[in-house]
């Protein structure tokens, strides 16, 4: 009876994993179809980025012909950054159902008694960019159409270092002079 119950639970978990993998595949197909377009200078500059944030189209209205490059360049940059920010927002909207599903799944520490929940101890993800923060002039060029979602930003929680009290520090072992308990000399 106990083996049958364990087998049924394992079958349910495997089915959940298969469903999760299918959901991830669907998400990736939908994500790859995303594009985002933003404008600057009252629509005189339009920029489109693909699902990976790469610039795929830039267009200019006829009235930019006489515009100074020092005004046009920052406008293109501002529009590209706004399009990339919109792409992040769209991606997170697509990802939200997957994240909600993941929260329902048991962690390894739920399945194996005594195993620490390492995932809970990892620091939050930060959104890293090589782009400089836009200047006030650049911000003024882009219409405030939609709020930028900083979903990768840490939620303000302090990161907690991972602690493994049962792990020996290799330097401490060497200083203490104790020999290795590994039988294969290649590991020693």
HEC string for 64-90: HCCCCHHHHHHHHHHHHHHHHHHHHHH
CA distance 183 to 48: 60
Helix, strand or coil, per DSSP, at residue 6: helix
Residue 136 has pLDDT above 80, yes or no: no
- Which among 17-21, 124-128, 130-134 has the top mean pLDDT? 17-21
Looking at per-residue confidence, does 158 or 50 come out higher? Answer: 50
pLDDT (average), residues 168-180: 58
Radius of gyration of the chain (CA): 26
Residue 40 has pLDDT above 90, yes or no: yes
Verdict on whether the full-model pTM lies above 0.75: no
In terms of C-beta density within 10 A (0-12 exposed, 13-18 middle, 19 or more buried), how is residue 76 classed? buried
């Amino acid at each position: 009876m106990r083996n049958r119950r364990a087998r049924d639970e394992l079958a349910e978990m495997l089915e959940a994993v298969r469903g999760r993998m299918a959901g991830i595949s669907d998400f990736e197909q939908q994500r790859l179809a995303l594009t985002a377009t933003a404008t600057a200078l009252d629509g005189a500059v339009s920029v489109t980025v693909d699902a990976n944030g790469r610039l795929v189209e830039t267009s200019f209205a006829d009235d930019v012909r006489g515009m100074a490059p020092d005004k046009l360049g920052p406008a293109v940059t501002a529009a590209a950054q706004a399009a990339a920010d919109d792409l992040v927002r769209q991606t997170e909207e697509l990802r939200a159902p997957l994240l909600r599903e993941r929260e329902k799944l048991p962690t390894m520490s739920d399945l194996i008694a005594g195993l620490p929940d390492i995932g809970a101890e990892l620091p939050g993800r930060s959104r890293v960019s090589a782009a400089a923060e836009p200047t006030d002039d650049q911000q003024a060029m882009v219409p405030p159409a939609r709020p930028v979602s900083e979903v990768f930003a840490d939620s303000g929680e302090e990161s907690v270092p991972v602690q493994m009290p049962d792990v020996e520090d290799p330097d401490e072992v060497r200083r203490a002079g104790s020999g290795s308990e590994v039988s294969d000399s290649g590991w020693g």
